[in-house]
Amino acid sequence: MTDLQELYQQVILDHNKSPRNFGALENAASAEGFNPLCGDSIKLYLVVNDGMVEDLRFEGSGCAISKASASIMTTLVKGKSVSEAQKMFDVFHNLVTEGADAGNDSVELGKMAVFEGVREFPARVKCASLAWHTLHNALLGKESVASTE
């Protein structure tokens, strides 16, 4: 596989075409993320109860990488506890900046593994992490808009 095919794996193209958990959620808390470099934005809707992420949806505009990342993130995080979600954020962050071997051995990468190719494209790391940064800030209870800058 070339770098490029590794970046744009079929799973990513699929999620880009038909993103899961896409659209607004009423009566939910929301958080926004913005990538000033390219103008991409994302809005997350979350329902957190008793330390559990009960529901999670997103909307916004972005490239295939950022859209697929948001889509896959919602499927991974929905139904997990807040602390599990934060752990996943760390794993993802490591994966796209350091690679799969770096400190992630104890964790199951699962669906996240399709983003492994991203680290070969420094200009695209921010696209892949926008949704995760937004979630991370929302779970920490930060009010401000997340930014990947």
Partner 1 sequence: MSQIETLGAEQTHSQRESRLDVEKIRKEFPILRQRPHGKPLVYLDNAATTQKPQSVIDAVASYYSEANSNIHRGVHYLSEKATNIYESARKRAQRFVNAPDSREIIFVRGTTEAINLVCSSYGGTHIGEGDEVIISHMEHHSNIVPWQMLCQRTGAILRVIPINEEGELRMDEFAKLLGPRTKFVSVVHVSNSLGTINPVKQIVEMAHAQGVPVLVDGAQSTPHMKIDVQDLGCDFYTCSGHKVFGPTGIGFLYGKSEHLDVMPPYHGGGDMIKYVSFDKTVYNELPYKFEAGTPNISGVAGLAAAFDFIDDIGHAAIEAHELELLRYGAEKIGAIDGLRLIGTAQHKASVISFVMDDIHSHDIGTFVDHEGVAIRVGHHCTQPVMQHFGVPATSRASFAFYNTRSEIDTLINALHKVIDIFRG
Q: Where are the alpha helices (DSSP H) in 10-59?
A: 10-17
Beta carbon of residue 39, minimum distance to partner 1 (angstroms, whole number): 4
Q: What are phi and psi of 67, to 5 degrees?
A: -70, -45
Residues facing 57 on adjacent strands = 45
Which lies closer to partner 1 via its Cβ, residue 91 or residue 129?
129
| 113 lies in the site for partner 1, by CB under 8 A | no
Q: Identify which of 7, 2, 18 has the alpha carbon closest to the alpha carbon of residue 75.
A: 18
| 4 lies in the site for partner 1, by CB under 8 A | yes
Q: Which of 62, 71, 74, 76 binds partner 1 (CB under 8 A)?
A: 62
* Burial classification of residue 66, based on how many CB atoms lie within 10 Å of its CB (0-12 exposed, 13-18 middle, 19 or more buried): buried
Q: Which of 42, 127, 135, 139 binds partner 1 (CB under 8 A)?
A: 127
CA of 55: how far to CAs of 22, 23, 51, 85, in Å? 12, 12, 12, 13
Beta carbon of residue 146, minimum distance to partner 1 (angstroms, whole number): 17
Q: Which of 20, 90, 97, 121 binds partner 1 (CB under 8 A)?
A: 121
CA–CA distance, 66 with 60 (Å, rounded to integer):
10
Sketch the per residue contact string, 6 through 35, with partner 1: x for CB under 8 A, - otherwise. -xx----x--x-------------------
Phi-psi region of 11 (alpha: psi -120 to 50; beta: other; left: phi over 0): alpha
Beta carbon of residue 53, minimum distance to partner 1 (angstroms, whole number): 27
| 123 lies in the site for partner 1, by CB under 8 A | yes
Binding site for partner 1 (CB under 8 A): 2-4, 7-8, 13, 16, 37-41, 61-67, 121, 123-124, 127
